[in-house]
Structure 1
Amino acid sequence: MNRELRREDIELLAPAGHWDAMRAAVANGANAVFFGVEKFNARARAANFQTDELPDIMSFLHAYGVKGFLTFNILVFEDEMEDAKRLIEACIDAGVDAVIVQDLGLVKMIRELSPDFPIHGSTQMTITSPEAVEFTKPYGLERVVLGRENNLKQIKTIGEQARLPMEVFVHGALCVSYSGQCLTSEMWGGRSANRGECAQACRLPYDMMVNGEHKPMGDITYLLSPKDLAAVELVPELIEAGVTSFKIEGRLKSPEYVANVTSKYRAAIDKYFDGVDAKPSKEEMLELQQSFSRGFTYGFLEGTNNKKLVEGTFPKSRGVFLGRVKEMTREGVMVELEAPLKRGDGLVFDAGDPTKKEEGGRVYDLKQRGAKVEGEVPGGLVEIVMGRNDVDLKRVRVGDRVWRTSDPALDKRLRATFETDKPYRTFPVSVSVHGEAGQPLVSLWTDESIGATVTVASELPLAVAEKRPIDETLLRDQFGRLGGTLFELSDIDAQLSGPVIVPMSELNRMRRRAVELLEAERRRPPAYVKRPASADSDAVKPAPRPAKPRLTALCRNLEQVQAVASRTDVDFIYADFEFIKQFPAAVEAVHAAGKKIALATPRIHMPGETGYFQNILRLKPDAVLVRNTGAVYWFARHFTMNPSADHPELIGDFSLNIANHKTANLFLNDAGLSRVTPSYDLNIQQMIDLLGKSPTDRMEIVLHQHLPMFHTEHCVYCTFLSEGTDYTNCGRPCEEQRVSLRDRIGMSHPVRVDEGCRNTVYNAIEQSGAEYLEEFLNLGVPSYRIEFLEEAPDKVVEVLNLYGKALRGEVNGTQVWRSLKATNQLGVTRGQLVK
């Protein structure tokens, strides 16, 4: 054990979607709770709390010495900025211990309102490297929540280099996409994951298409549905890697789940600091599975293992695996149990197709060798008898998997931890008493856990005692009667002059008053500096309509680059290749044509991956398309340290999640980017609102593209086309094969790999904003990007010429739309731009 670490340095952070879950978290050992209110949080489907409940929430949590963090982990649109400001002011007034924030513009707003109100950088910020942490430091973030894709070695590196407290998810559902980088729900249903409205497209079935042909996968159809994270066995390693906050996912989960998971991680952390084996027992792991489990994995904490991350046969919680049906009987089924079972437990029979109705219900009886068994059967061959009205046994087959989906006894035990009239925790108080005859009895009560002291004096003066004077033993008995309160007496020191006495009723009153005062001290909200709200001084008027708007093209292979450079009048080309070995040829081709080129960084930056940025600079491009804050920080710092060099301009891409003018200004002014691309989460009205307050002459809008929906560390090529587990042993099938995922309506969405072996799933249908071009021009936007994916060079030239005509006013946006719709086999979509 690392002896420098202290138990009090480690925080166990539990979720709460409602009051019962919050009570469950506190009762089972959470040091902090994160929760959302009715707006502005990434769990819009949760019950959530109301803003006017904030004082009561914080009073409750602080009474138990628990911190409360409000989740504000979504992008904030322009028309919501005033509401966002009011919510932050309410948090400051209520003494919220921190807000968990995704939107960097919101971070700026908070700092305008208060220099010391605590901010935590959400995992939605996609912080995965020391450089990304450094980017946040000028804005005074107290801690960052690292991406779920960071492994233990990377976490340790980030902590040692960036030196900011780190919060890491340790349990719960895993997003297959990088948080903050998933656009699937937005594309398909206008329900943005960056707005707390994720429709969980990753949990849907897909067919795997390889080079255009369907690859049979048996019962593996949930190709993007990861198992659930369960890192309780890695608690020691996480502590020693420098993790200071252990975060449990689950604001949509039941209070029983919160109680169960919180208690298990509390025990593991305490065992570590007690110097005993922190590993959970088999029974404890089964209880964790029972509350919610799609199968457990360490996620990426021990490194990438694609085979262990996604199993692919079911997308929802199954609970505990009991075994397979070995034989059908007249009353039920025979199963060789791999886990305990008892009467009343809930079961489901899994025939391998979760899309169809599954048989399940309560266990009515258990039999072994023909005799009924009372109590729990720990394992072995058993006949399970189900209620006749619960299960149609004709639909159950030998070989079906059997899962225990509920355990009423466990739920009852978990509910008992928080459904109680007793305090969930008590805190030691020490009392110092002094007095003399004719003067009040004075008591000083000190809450040892927070260091607060209150003074309570008797209303009656002390009298000379003729017999049985009060002494330390009597005072300990009277003042120690603290049952039902938050306190317990730890020590008492009585300094009394002579034999004195006061009525017992007075001692009881003093004790009750001391409890009131001490509790008020615990509940007192922290005081933050709060500045008066000011007008938007950084909002600007849009630029005038550009005289010569510019068309740019983003190409994903060398042939596309060569076609744009030699056959069109587009003079600025982005190269965004799967494999950077073709970058030099792209730079050479573009410069030979007398045009400019920008090279794109990956969307994700991990520790030790700055060599990619150095390679880009060696090729001397005219610009760099930066896609993450780690890259923004690295390039800006490199330019500062090398002031005499001829530096390329830095252009911010959509993945920086710019949804309001404050975020735009942060990247343009603070970070020094030359121009930026608005977030793909904006519909047309939200885009217009953003442009109406931003320096539009420094904006570039992506007008045409295949939307990049999922961006994930999980590699479907490795998982399903190789025997390997990661890039070191997969054989690189991505270099020989082309994979797409066919959805339920028959659309095949291409899957492409970047230099870091991360996958991007692109929407099958092209998206065009041509119909809104006139509005963008009137708002002063001068630059419009057309992005290609797999188009042949002739098609690239055709599409660019069409948009070129639109920019010159030779055709209007509607004509562009109709032309694209007529020439594209799958048609074209307006995508998320539709209101």
Structure 2
Amino acid sequence: MQLLQQDRIRKPELLAPAGSYEGMIGAINAGADAVYFGGSLFSARAFAQNFSTEEATDAIRYAALHGVKTYLTINTLVKEQELGELIPFLTPYVRAGLNGVIVQDLGVLALVQENFPELELHASTQMAISGKYGALLLKRLGCVRVVPARELSLTELKIMKEGSGVDLEAFIHGAMCYCYSGLCLFSSIIGGRSGNRGRCAQSCRLPYHLVEASEAGRSKEKSGYLLSLKDLCALPLLPELMEAGIDSFKIEGRMKKPEYTAGVTAIYRKYIDLYLEDPASFHVAKEDLSRLSSLYMRSQIETGYYHRHNGREMVTLSQPGYSGSSETLLKEIRDLYLTGKKTIPVQMTARLTIGKPAELILKTVSKEYSFQAMDEVSASVRGEEVQEAKKAPLQEEQVIRSLKKLGGTNFHCISCAVEGLTENRTGVFLPSAALNELRRRAVASLEEKILLQKDNPTLPVERKEVPLPSFHAGNEIVRKANLHVSVESEEQLSALMRSPLKADRIAIGVLP
């Protein structure tokens, strides 16, 4: 991370969600430093559009070219019979240059670490880590980042950061769960769909009827969305979050539309940069809060639990659904961030010297590259030998027109110079096919050079084969199970002693 003039504050990562390929492009175009997304398996948002393997590998490469990190969510609990699918599923993402994985299951954590030690391991908020000792344990297990429970205050996050030294990733925007993430069984019980398997039925967003019973009968009946929490918007708290040492600011919303991803990312990008440039003048404009409120948010937004607002003010009560967004705002976002991939500006120089191989040099121009800072990179390739023209010599306009055909690539040309055309009176000649091939090779070479300078594990390591458990029904070896019994009264203890059950251990509570 870039160290700011204030030694105690570091520039945080802005991490955006991508529920689709278009959403990822929008997040990158709007200024995200990193993007997290799910694949077809093991994702806590099974009902998001998610990515096919082909889409994901292309998106990972696009992100890497623009200096944006990518994290894959493998944040569900994985069954024994599914473990054999994990490594084959993950391999193509790693080959494409994936930076890290977000995990909930400790078994998944161990398998990924064994097979892909170059990948960053991030502990999901689904682990419900709420203190420094949990963070320290995960750090020892190989996690470089922890996403703490969303219910923690700024003070608690600061204590965790100072006590563990591990990178912390905190949610700054989006929906809030009623229960601790990863510990909620509500959807499983009443909907038959487990949130820990990526299939949350959003049961807390339904209306409920509350009846307070009394000795005389029913009383104080109330109906409403009694478990539906208000959405989080921590935009006014950005300075406090940075002061607390949060390393990554995470936007929730892989189930939401690309316009939400791009629009929200752009606003947080704006205010993070404003604060870093001039902390004393930080102020959030009302119109930007209004824009956030209208981008698929619930009726009210709050700053979450960061100031210990863990009471009834967190519940929306009256409206669980998302408010509509104006078509004018959505069109503005689409025009700004969702019209297609951003391309990298390059300068081109062609050297056409008779008797020597044609040479093409491509160089990126960082000052023209507005939404992501990147180092200048150049690539040079050589092609066919340049000949003296017999009939029709190459014209400068002809060469430039051929070389600037960069449609469908990740680049666009802002200047093109041609050297050597006037070396002799007859001019020079090079077939059009040779010029086109020179351009294609130069583009490929420049892409590889950019990718190699990024901190991406673009090449897979020699992975170990980890022995997995047998998945057939039943165990070949029947192991003796230990029986531990807890008793809290003399009657329970007496009944246990008379029982044919032979307890290996008895836990006795405080008897009266």
What TM-score, normalized to structure 1? 0.50
Aligned partners of 1:483, 1:272: CA distance in 2, in Å?
37
Residue 22 to residue 211, structure 1, CA distance change in 2 (3 Å): farther
Q: Secondary structure at the match of 2:212?
A: strand
CA distance in 2, matches of 1:428, 1:165: 34
In the alignment, what sits opposite 1:313?
318
- Higher-Rg structure is 1
| Separation of aligned partners in 2, 1:489 and 1:544 | 69
Q: Using the alignment, how far apart are the partners of 2:232 and 2:218 within structure 1?
A: 31
Q: 1:266 aligns with which of 269, 274, 281?
A: 269
CA gap of 1:82–1:537, structure 2 versus 1, over 3 A, is closer
In the other structure, the counterpart of 1:755 is none
Decide whether the 8 Å contact of 1:7 with 1:270 is kept in 2: no
Aligned to 1:394: none
Q: Name the structure 2 match of 1:104.
A: 106
Match of 2:294 in 1: 290
Identity level (%): 34
The structure 2 residue matched to 1:552, chosen from 486, 489, 492, is 486
**Matched residue of 2:72: which SS?**
strand
User: In structure 2, what residue type is equivalent to 1:314?
Assistant: Q
CA deviation vs aligned residue, 1:41-73 (integer Å, no higher than 9, x gap): 111222222345432332333343332221110
- Conserved in 1, the CA contact under 8 Å of 2:485 and 2:507? no
C-alpha distance in 2 between matches for 1:87 and 1:96: 13
Equivalents in 1 of 2:333, 2:245: separation in Å?
31
How far is 1:24 from its partner?
A: 2.1
Distance 2:144 2:202 in 1: 31
Partner of 1:157: 159
Q: In the aligned structure 1, how far is the partner of 2:252 from the partner of 2:40?
A: 19
1:111–1:139: 8 Å Cα contact kept in structure 2? Answer: no
Structure 1 residues 21 and 191, CA, compared in 2 at 3 Å: closer, same or farther?
same
Q: 1:153 to 1:480 in 2, by over 3 A?
A: farther
Shift of 1:429: 4.7
Q: CA deviation at 1:236?
A: 2.2
Aligned twin of 2:356: 439
Report if the CA contact (8 A) 2:14-2:33 is conserved.
yes
How far does residue 510 in structure 1 lie from its aligned partner after superposition? 4.8
Q: Aligned with 1:222: secondary structure?
A: strand
Q: Does 1:518 align with 2:446?
A: yes
Match of 2:460 in 1: 528
SS of residue in 1 equivalent to 2:163: helix
- 1:568 to 1:63, Cα distance in 2 relative to 1, 3 A: same
Deviations 1:433-459 (Å, cap 9, x if unpaired)? 889764345454444636654222353
1:537 CA drift (Å): 7.2
C-alpha offsets along residues 392-430 of structure 1, whole Å, 9 cap, x if unaligned?
xxxxxxxxxxxxx33111122222234425x42x44556
Residue 248 of structure 2 is aligned to residue 245 of structure 1 = yes
- Equivalent residue, structure 1, for 2:333: 414
Determine helix, strand or coil for the equivalent of 1:33.
Answer: strand
In the alignment, the residues of structure 2 paired with residue 259 and residue 304 of structure 1 have an alpha-carbon distance, to the nearest angstrom, of 28
**Partners of 1:198 and 1:440 in 2: how far apart?**
61
Cα 1:492–1:142, aligned 2, differ >3 Å: closer, same or farther?
farther
Give unmatched runs, 5+ long, in structure 1: 320-404, 465-469, 554-559, 576-585, 591-835
Q: Distance in 2 between matches of 1:7 and 1:522?
A: 29
Q: Which moved more, 1:120-129 or 1:55-64?
A: 55-64
Q: 1:91 to 1:484 in 2, by over 3 A?
A: closer
Shift of 1:431: 6.7
Instruction: Write the distance in 1 (CA, Å) between the matches of 2:159 and 2:403.
Output: 51
**Cα distance, 1:461 vs structure 2:** 4.0
Q: How far has the Cα of 1:77 moved from its partner?
A: 0.9
* Displacement of 1:527: 1.6
Q: Aligned ranges for residues 303-702 of structure 1 at < 5 Å?
A: 303-317=308-322, 319=323, 405-421=324-340, 423-424=341-342, 426-427=343-344, 429=346, 438-440=355-357, 442-447=359-364, 449=374, 452-457=377-382, 459-461=384-386, 486-487=410-411, 510=438, 513-522=441-450, 526-536=458-468, 542-545=477-480, 549-553=483-487, 560-561=488-489, 564=492, 568-569=496-497, 572-573=506-507, 586=510, 589=511
Q: Which residue of 2 aligns with 1:388?
A: none
8 Å Cα contact 1:456/1:510 also seen in 2: yes
Which of 13, 25, 28 matches 1:26?
28
1:4-23 maps to which residues of 2 (within 5 A)?
A: 4=6, 9-23=11-25
AA matched with 1:44: A
Alpha-carbon shift at residue 103 of structure 1 (Å): 0.1
> What residue number does 1:175 align with?
177
Cα deviation, residue 194, structure 1: 0.7
Shift of 1:214: 4.8
User: Judging changes above 3 Å, is the alpha-carbon distance between structure 1 residues 207 and 194 closer, same or farther for their aligned structure 2 residues?
Assistant: same
Q: Deviations over 1:312-361 (max 9, x none)?
A: 222222x3xxxxxxxxxxxxxxxxxxxxxxxxxxxxxxxxxxxxxxxxxx
Q: What does residue range 124-273 of structure 1 map to in structure 2 within 5 Å?
A: 124-204=126-206, 205-209=208-212, 214=218, 216=220, 221-273=224-276
- 1:170-199 per-position Cα deviation (integer Å, ceiling 9, x unaligned): 111100111111111222233111111112
Matched with 1:611 is none
| Greater RCO structure (CA 8 Å; 6+ sep) | 2
Q: Which residue of 2 aligns with 1:620?
A: none
Question: 1:3–1:216: structure 2 CA closer, same or farther, 3 Å change rule?
Answer: farther
CA distance in 2, matches of 1:8, 1:238: 11
**Secondary structure of residue in 1 paired with 2:317:** coil
Call closer, same or farther: CA 1:514–1:89 in 2, change over 3 Å.
Answer: closer
Alignment deviations for residues 723-745 of structure 1 (CA, whole Å, 9 cap, x no partner):
xxxxxxxxxxxxxxxxxxxxxxx
Amino acid at match of 2:69: K
Look up the equivalent residue of 2:28 and give its one-letter code: V
Partner Cα distance (1:182, 1:267) in 2 = 35
User: Which residue of structure 2 aligns with residue 299 of structure 1?
Assistant: 304
SS at match of 2:118: coil
* Total equivalences in the alignment: 478
**Maintained 8 Å contact 2:26/2:258:** yes
